[in-house]
Structure 1
Amino acid sequence: MSKISRRSPPTPATRSWTLRHWQLRTVPHPAKVFLLLVELTAVAITVALLVAQRVSTAEWVRLGVLTFLAIGYAEAGARIERLKRYLSPGGDKVASNQVSVWAFAAVLTVPSGWAAVLVALLYGQYLVRRCRDRTGVPYRVIFAGATVMLSAEAAGALVTWDGGGDVLRGGLRAPVVVIAALLVFTLVNFGVLLTGMCLVRRPPTLRAMLPDSDSFGYEIATLALGIVTAEFLVHSLALTPVALILAAYLHRSSLVNSLHRSSRTDPKTGLPNLPAWTEHAQAVLAHSHRHGQTVTILFCDLDHFKVVNDMYGHQVGDRVLAAVAQCLRRELRGHDGIGRFGGEEFVVVLDAISAAEADAVAGRLRTAVSALHFDDDLTITMSVGMASHEPGLVAPELQPLIGRADKALRIAKADGRNRVRAA
């Protein structure tokens, strides 16, 4: 259920960093219990491991080198992280960062309790930096840190169970153990994070909280770089600073990807903007023509949206747009092309279904938007115009299809709004 308030929210800095507006106060009780349980478990296991595990001189050296490199790189890369947070849409989803490089390298080269201590230091540094910048949400940073600590301890338990010592000197079994540890680290990390996020956010579907392919790929790349760093630590300590160059290159590549993605994404809704959607729609039309499939354009427009902006303010209007975009995306297939046309207008391209099936999809979208509930008795309806191109000798053209769908939309508006009309 969407929640829209007439009152303007406080700024992020005030909301996140003053006791009165501390966001943990608004978290559902089951979520608070889960967050606290994860954090206490991480601390308890770490303390127990620190008491039980012995550290050799070589391991102390590796831990010192990793700490120096990790903290130094975190400070040097702080500007890149600020840019990525600014550019990345959908910031509530699972986010990847460079901590995995150093955390996983520590898992493979030092006792797991001290690997968890390294993670705690890095997230403590991150929390201090966010306090200084007055950005972010403190309880999320703490929970994320506890999650990575548990991930490191779980992966470290697998490494230790295999026989202890340096797993990278373990002969033929070493690659299997390393890959297994990587899988355990990833599964525990994402599993605990997603559970906490679902309890806090209560999304309509789990899919809404899953990381996108770029974020997941970036996380795997950082873990792979962690393996390379561990190899340097064990076999050629003098070359370990090379890991900084590799980490910087990976970080820079992720920033370039964020810049590319932000240039193609509408910032208010997280949907593809018009140029990006047009490119996708033209590819869908060409594919449909080659395979003899019907293709349909839906032109969706929120009814009386200007009244929402006038009565409730543009901030509320923007949140309504985001809620509608999420609703439309949830109702469509994963590969259906949806984008923001402009203002309160959305466009959808449907392929591999008949015109009658597309009409049913349009009706379902209209009904789903009408069912959204907001505070202050605010309701939203949507009119939809649709235009289909049947397979034939003539290739479909995007602009004429959009024009026909636009005419059908105007007919839906003239017939009383909150309905679907086909060209």
Structure 2
Amino acid sequence: MTVFLLAVEGITAVLTVIMVAHSEVDGPALVTFGCVAGLGLVIGEITRHVERARRRFDDTPHINLTSVWTLAAALLLPPPLTVLVVVLLYQHLFWRSWAHVAGVHAYRLVYSACTVILAASASGEICRVLGFTPSDLSAWREPGSVGVVLAAILAYSIVNSGLVEAAIVLSDGGFDVRRVLGTTRENALEYGTLGLGATGALLLTLYPAWVLLMVPALLVLHRSVLMRQLEEAASTDPKTGLANPAGWTNIANRELDRATRDGGTVGVLMVDLDHFKKINDTHGHLVGDQVLKAVAQTLAKAVRRHDLVGRWGGEEFAVLCPDVSGAELVRIADRVCDLVRHLDVPVSLAGDHLVVDHLTVSVGAARYPESGPTLQDILLAADGCLFAAKNNGRDQVQSGRTPVDERDHAIRP
């Protein structure tokens, strides 16, 4: 891991020296440098509190809004000035936004800055190889200019993300898709900011004052990204990444209101992992947590794309199935049982490797309008069916409206 980081940083240093030795900087380039670096620093200063709060919820330092200015620099400036823009912006980020955020260390900042320098260099080289000179306004009018800029954006993203992902894999000793590749939202933010960077480069070439029109959009983007992260943190179960009870209930009530208004249906599955206490007692809670996460991922794969899976508490999950027939709801529940039945969970603990298998779930299914007019009615009916499934031997689906009082005789692990 350390060797890899040092190698990347060493390559960046050598490449920077070579670029400085073989590049010329003229007056117009210095003016453009002042505009790009100045705007980046001003936006960074205005949004420093938002960025600090955002970073507390997001552990992907290579994805941030400075790429608006680093890509613009890569397209418009000689390589030495591009490097200087990256250094200035990342120093400001660390000192003013990230310095007191837990988990953000100086060595990570240095490595992230190096990956951005290499990414910007790759982006600029794509333009040079393809004969595209972004600082020349006539180049933007060429038919192939859009394709060249898209190629430059793609090169920037591949180099930057690839180097960061390699470091994460080496650090963790394994491949976690979500942690390595990032979420859809994070990657959308990355490409969105790179698109704004290309737009900024065009505006700076066309008429520099027009780039000020981007400032309000960037300020709103900063705050909207933070608000989205706060909303997700408030509605997401941290252990499994599923919706928590509050988030699940909020969406379920909205779906039920829509179904009531439009004459639709809403199905609910209550899913309980059988004998989970035995797993915790045998292997410990850390292994139990890994099993819960694996089961959560399996449930998400088993349901339809527009269904919502939430962790209800402990080893119990809830699935919201809008616009579903009774037969289809049972088929979804059966698919959940079947996929969990064939699930093997490899876990590592204190150097020991083991596989937790022979997992099963019991499922209770209920549906609006048959089970009642309110979400509470549907949940009670589904929970009653879940207790019936437990009583009848587990690893099965029970559906229909089960009287609540049947739970008095139910068996729970």
Q: Same fold (TM over 0.5)?
A: yes
CA contact (8 A) 2:119 2:159 kept: yes
Aligned to 1:126: 93
Instruction: Choose from 64, 69, 73 the match for 1:97.
Output: 64
In structure 2, the CA distance between the partners of 1:71 and 1:206, relative to structure 1 (3 Å rule), is same
Q: What do residues 219-258 of structure 1 show as CA deviations (whole Å, max 9, x unaligned)?
A: 2221222233323432333444444333212212222222
Structure 1, 354-363 or 74-83: larger mean CA deviation? 354-363
Aligned to 1:225: 196
* Superposition deviation, residue 386 in structure 1: 0.9
* Superposition deviation, residue 170 in structure 1: 0.9
In structure 2, the CA distance between the partners of 1:265 and 1:170, relative to structure 1 (3 Å rule), is same
Could you tell me how far apart the structure 2 residues matched to 1:233 and 1:202 are? Answer: 44
1:172 aligns with 2:138: no
The amino acid that maps onto 2:39 is L
Could you tell me how far apart the structure 2 residues matched to 1:85 and 1:122 are? Answer: 16
CA contact (8 A) 2:299 2:309 kept: no
The amino acid that maps onto 2:361 is V
1:365 aligns with 2:340: yes
Aligned to 1:62: 32
Could you tell me how far apart the structure 2 residues matched to 1:369 and 1:280 are? Answer: 31
CA contact (8 A) 2:74 2:82 kept: yes
Structure 1, 229-238 or 377-386: larger mean CA deviation? 377-386
Aligned to 2:15: 45
Instruction: Choose from 49, 52, 58 the match for 1:82.
Output: 52
1:235 aligns with 2:206: yes
Could you tell me how far apart the structure 2 residues matched to 1:204 and 1:396 are? Answer: 45
CA contact (8 A) 1:327 1:369 kept: no
CA contact (8 A) 1:198 1:206 kept: no
Could you tell me how far apart the structure 2 residues matched to 1:80 and 1:153 are? Answer: 29
In structure 2, the CA distance between the partners of 1:343 and 1:416, relative to structure 1 (3 Å rule), is same
Could you tell me how far apart the structure 2 residues matched to 1:160 and 1:259 are? Answer: 42
Could you tell me how far apart the structure 2 residues matched to 1:251 and 1:165 are? Answer: 27
In structure 2, the CA distance between the partners of 1:367 and 1:136, relative to structure 1 (3 Å rule), is farther
Aligned to 1:156: 124
CA contact (8 A) 1:97 1:219 kept: yes
In structure 2, the CA distance between the partners of 1:94 and 1:77, relative to structure 1 (3 Å rule), is closer
Q: What do residues 61-98 of structure 1 show as CA deviations (whole Å, max 9, x unaligned)?
A: 11123222223332332210122133x3xx34576311
Could you tell me how far apart the structure 2 residues matched to 1:283 and 1:182 are? Answer: 39
Where do 5+ consecutive residues of structure 1 fail to align? 1-30
Aligned to 1:28: none
Could you tell me how far apart the structure 2 residues matched to 1:381 and 1:136 are? Answer: 41
Structure 1, 135-144 or 394-403: larger mean CA deviation? 394-403
Q: Helix, strand or coil for the counterpart of 1:346?
A: strand
CA contact (8 A) 1:268 1:321 kept: yes
CA contact (8 A) 1:299 1:402 kept: no
Instruction: Choose from 263, 277, 281 the match for 2:248.
Output: 277
The amino acid that maps onto 1:56 is D
* Superposition deviation, residue 58 in structure 1: 0.7
In structure 2, the CA distance between the partners of 1:365 and 1:383, relative to structure 1 (3 Å rule), is closer
Bigger RCO (CA 8 Å, 6+ sep): 1
* Superposition deviation, residue 53 in structure 1: 1.0
* Superposition deviation, residue 275 in structure 1: 3.8
CA contact (8 A) 1:294 1:354 kept: no
Q: Helix, strand or coil for the counterpart of 2:141?
A: helix
In structure 2, the CA distance between the partners of 1:382 and 1:323, relative to structure 1 (3 Å rule), is closer
Instruction: Choose from 333, 340, 349 the match for 2:311.
Output: 340
Alignment of 1:287-326 (within 5 A): 297-301=269-273, 303=275, 321=289, 324-325=292-293
Could you tell me how far apart the structure 2 residues matched to 1:271 and 1:82 are? Answer: 25
In structure 2, the CA distance between the partners of 1:60 and 1:330, relative to structure 1 (3 Å rule), is farther
Could you tell me how far apart the structure 1 residues matched to 2:346 and 2:134 are? Answer: 59
Q: Helix, strand or coil for the counterpart of 2:161?
A: helix
Aligned to 1:10: none
CA contact (8 A) 1:387 1:405 kept: yes
In structure 2, the CA distance between the partners of 1:355 and 1:344, relative to structure 1 (3 Å rule), is closer
Could you tell me how far apart the structure 1 residues matched to 2:195 and 2:345 are? Answer: 47
* Superposition deviation, residue 348 in structure 1: 3.2
Instruction: Choose from 104, 118, 121 the match for 1:136.
Output: 104
Where do 5+ consecutive residues of structure 2 fail to align? 400-413
In structure 2, the CA distance between the partners of 1:165 and 1:301, relative to structure 1 (3 Å rule), is closer
CA contact (8 A) 1:155 1:184 kept: yes
Aligned to 1:386: 363
* Superposition deviation, residue 268 in structure 1: 4.5
Could you tell me how far apart the structure 2 residues matched to 1:302 and 1:74 are? Answer: 51
Could you tell me how far apart the structure 2 residues matched to 1:322 and 1:83 are? Answer: 29
In structure 2, the CA distance between the partners of 1:175 and 1:132, relative to structure 1 (3 Å rule), is same
What is the count of residue pairs matched by the alignment? 381
The amino acid that maps onto 2:135 is D
**RMSD of aligned alpha carbons:** 4.2
The amino acid that maps onto 1:160 is R
Q: What do residues 335-371 of structure 1 show as CA deviations (whole Å, max 9, x unaligned)?
A: 3532121344322357796746633532543664765
CA contact (8 A) 1:300 1:382 kept: no
In structure 2, the CA distance between the partners of 1:304 and 1:211, relative to structure 1 (3 Å rule), is closer
Q: What do residues 108-160 of structure 1 show as CA deviations (whole Å, max 9, x unaligned)?
A: 21013421332133223334453455542444333322221111111100122
